[in-house]
Structure formats: structure tokens, C-alpha cells
Amino acid sequence: MRGLLAYIDGREQEMLAFLEQIVNMDSGTLDKAGIDRLGSFLAERLETLGFAVERARQTQYGDHVIGRKAGSGSRSILFVGHIDTVFSSGTAAVRPFRIDGGRAYGPGVLDMKGGVATLIFALDALKATGHPSYEQVGMTVIFNTDEEVGSPSSRELIEAEARKAQTACVFEPARPGGEYVIARKGVGRYRVEVKGRAAHAGVQPEQGRSAVLELAHKIIALHALNDFSRGTTVNVGVIRGGDRSNVVAAEASGDIDVRVRTLAEAQRLEASFQEIAGSCALPDTTTTITGRLGRGPMEQTPQARRLFEKVQEIGRGLKLELKGIATGGGSDGNLTAQHTPTVDGMGPQGSEAHSDREFIEVATLVERVKVTALILASWPETIAQIG
């Protein structure tokens, strides 16, 4: 193990050079050419590491890169990292990778090219030092290209691979305090639509049934479902209705964002939505509420808890106190966690994601590579323990 850690310590400059290279390759979600260039670069790297690489071809988004390496047993671990960023083509030329005061800056350095570098160098360390786990453990790597828009084209792939794996590690950034992510809320988008009856607002207002007024009642009822103590949030964030002030509005609608910690809570909310839709404050209006939970919640199952305890034990061996945190934001960890115990937030620590101030703490890159390498090194025992 000491050999493994010393090897990683000796690779810091190489890691930073690699990170510089991938940060300086623009890969905004809609920049297919840019992402495919980065995908090819990473595919080559995976091949060097002994992976067989496939591509899931896409027309709209970049091709997803899938690397597979069979182990000697039937069990396998899944590594997921998205290679798209929220920055458009040309950004890296304007503000390329740079290091200043122990922090590294550049588009996507935190979210999540730092995580991609963490994974690559952890794999490299096990291979280069000839660690037996590298041959024993079956490994699948997915570099997907559309996470920043909700993984519409990679979702099925990620879920299918998660179903086959006994553990998933997702390389989203650590939280600002260095925490791993052990739970994420499920996120749903719904729409409330109200139909009333139009009428002249001055001449025959009594003939009208205002959809706008009915929507107002619905919004109050929907917001009453907020329960911060359970982590449940319901927000009607956009409303539309009517088109002239002298007409009683025939139609109105609103867009609803929902966040829940558990699937049970999502079901409870959906039942309440149907009750709210079915009761009208204003007679002769009709309301429908449609939508669904896009990414289910990442709940910490007992197995996932034991997995994270193992990660913490690895941290203590490195004199790191690793904490886990729950967050309201979604990631591909929400998808894998539906099927297999998942640790997310495996990437380096930093802050200000999705902004031009985004950075990582350089020192945490080596730390995270060590933790990842040790998770993989000890995984055959871990998986026997957590069941």
C-alpha cells in the first residue's frame, strides 16, 4: 500500500498537466465536436489502462465513452464521470487553466474534469504498481456527455450498467468542505394547467370562469405542501395565464419544481397533486397536473452506509476525516443509486461551479486520487463485507 501511495505522491505534476490538457479542451454540452475530441482523448487513455472502449454514438450530444475491463470474478464496480461542461466553445481560450495560490482555475476544472483526472490517475496507480485488485475487479467506466442537461441520452446506459455493478462511484466534485455526497434529493418537474371560460370582463363577467383566479388557489394549495423538516420542496416558479385584462382568462398554467428525499415522499406528493387538481375553488373550471420525477432520490441505503463507512476508514488511514453530506442538487448518482450502493462527490474539493470563478484546491487532487485508489484496492474485501 505504501508503494501505491508513494507512486501517487510522485505523480502530482503529471496529474496537473493532464488536468490542464483536458480543461483546455472545450466541451460544452452542445459542442459535439469539442466533446468528441475530448472523448477520443480519454478513450485512448482508457485503452492504455487496459480497457476495451466502446462508444454510444449520439447525434445531438457527444458520443458517450464506455470502457470495460473484465475481472477474475463476477463482481464489478462502475465509475461515472460526465465530460460535458456548462461553458460554450471558445471559453478555454479566453480563460485557460491556471494555478494561483494553491488553487487551479479554468472551465470545468471542478465540475468535473478534476473528477475525471482523479479517476484516471487512481486507475493508473493500481496498474503501474501491479496491485492485484486491478486484475481481480471487473470495472466499467462511463464518460457521458449530457449530464449538465439532465442526462437525457445517457440515462438508460448509466442505469443498465448500475444494475450490473455491485458499487458505483461518481466523480462529481466534493462539496466545498471536502465532503463526499451520500444522498441527493429526487427532482421532478410538473405542470399545472387550468381551463376556465372566457367572457367580457365588463359586459358579462358573471359568464366567465377565471382560470387565473383558479390557478391562484392551486398555487396556494401546492405551496402548502412544502415541508422543510422532511426536505420536501414544491415551488411554482413560472406562471402564465390570460392575454387581455378585459377578458376573463380561459386558460392559465404554472411550472412546478419538486424536490424530495425519498420515493415514498414523491408518491405522497403526487397523490396530493391529484387531490388538488380534483377539487375546484371556482365551479366549472378543470385542472390537470402532469409531470414526473426525472431523477429519483439518491437515498442512503444500509448497504450504501456501510460502503461509505469503509471510505471513511480509508480516509482515517490517510489522516483525512472524510465526511458525507446530503444535497438538494441532482447528478448521475441519483440514477446509479436506484440500483447499486453509490458514493458520489469523489472529485477534488473546490467551489463556485458553473461560474468563471470555479476552482479546485490543488492539494486535494492527490488526496482524492489516493482515496479512490484505496477504495479500488480494498474493494474485493469491502464488497464481501457490505453484502
Give the nearer residue to Zn ion in terms of CB position, either 111 or 299: 111
Give the nearer residue to Zn ion in terms of CB position, either 111 or 361: 111
Give the nearer residue to Zn ion in terms of CB position, either 67 or 345: 345
Take residue 130 and report the three cell numbers written for it: 501491479
Give the nearer residue to Zn ion in terms of CB position, either 151 or 378: 151
User: Which range in 18-26, 52-60, 123-131, 169-177 contacts Zn ion by CB under 5 A?
Assistant: 169-177
Q: Are 326 and 182 in contact (CB under 8 A)?
A: yes
Torsions phi, psi for 242 (to 5 deg): 60, 170
Q: Does 298 bind Zn ion (CB under 5 A)?
A: no
Q: CB 107 → Zn ion: shortest distance, Å?
A: 13
Q: CB 188 → Zn ion: shortest distance, Å?
A: 20
Q: CB 84 → Zn ion: shortest distance, Å?
A: 9
Q: Does 35 bind Zn ion (CB under 5 A)?
A: no
Q: CB 83 → Zn ion: shortest distance, Å?
A: 10
Helix (H, G, I), strand (E, B) or coil at 153: coil
Torsions phi, psi for 140 (to 5 deg): -125, 130
Q: CB 111 → Zn ion: shortest distance, Å?
A: 4
Which residues is 78 bridged to in the sheet?
Answer: 140, 168
Q: Residue written as cell 457490505? A: 386
Give the integer Cα–Cα distance in Å for 188 and 19: 34
Q: Does 112 bind Zn ion (CB under 5 A)?
A: yes
Give the nearer residue to Zn ion in terms of CB position, either 133 or 327: 327
Q: CB 86 → Zn ion: shortest distance, Å?
A: 9
User: Which range in 42-50, 167-175, 237-245, 254-262 contacts Zn ion by CB under 5 A?
Assistant: 167-175
Give the nearer residue to Zn ion in terms of CB position, either 265 or 361: 361
Q: CB 141 → Zn ion: shortest distance, Å?
A: 16
Q: CB 147 → Zn ion: shortest distance, Å?
A: 6
Q: Does 111 bind Zn ion (CB under 5 A)?
A: yes
Take residue 349 and report the three cell numbers written for it: 474539493
Q: CB 110 → Zn ion: shortest distance, Å?
A: 8
Helix (H, G, I), strand (E, B) or coil at 166: coil
Give the nearer residue to Zn ion in terms of CB position, either 35 or 256: 35
Query: Nearest residue by C-beta to Zn ion?
Result: 111
Among candidate residues 370, 213, 367, the one with its CA nearest the CA of residue 280 = 213
How far lies 152's CA from each of 113, 123, 144, 162, 332, in Å? 20, 28, 10, 16, 11
Outline where DSSP puts E strands in 324-376. Answer: 324-327, 342-343, 350-351, 359-361
Residues that bind Zn ion (rule: CB under 5 A) add up to a total of 3
User: Which range in 106-114, 151-159, 192-200, 257-265 contacts Zn ion by CB under 5 A?
Assistant: 106-114
Take residue 277 and report the three cell numbers written for it: 387538481
Q: Does 158 bind Zn ion (CB under 5 A)?
A: no
- The torsion region of residue 117 among left (phi > 0), alpha (psi -120 to 50) and beta comes to alpha
Binding mask 56-95 for Zn ion (x = CB under 5 A): ----------------------------------------
Q: Are 65 and 81 in contact (CB under 8 A)?
A: no
Residues 6+ apart with CB under 8 A from 309: none
* Cβ-based burial of 237 (10 A; exposed 0-12, middle 13-18, buried ≥19): exposed
The contact set with Zn ion (CB under 5 A) reads 111-112, 172
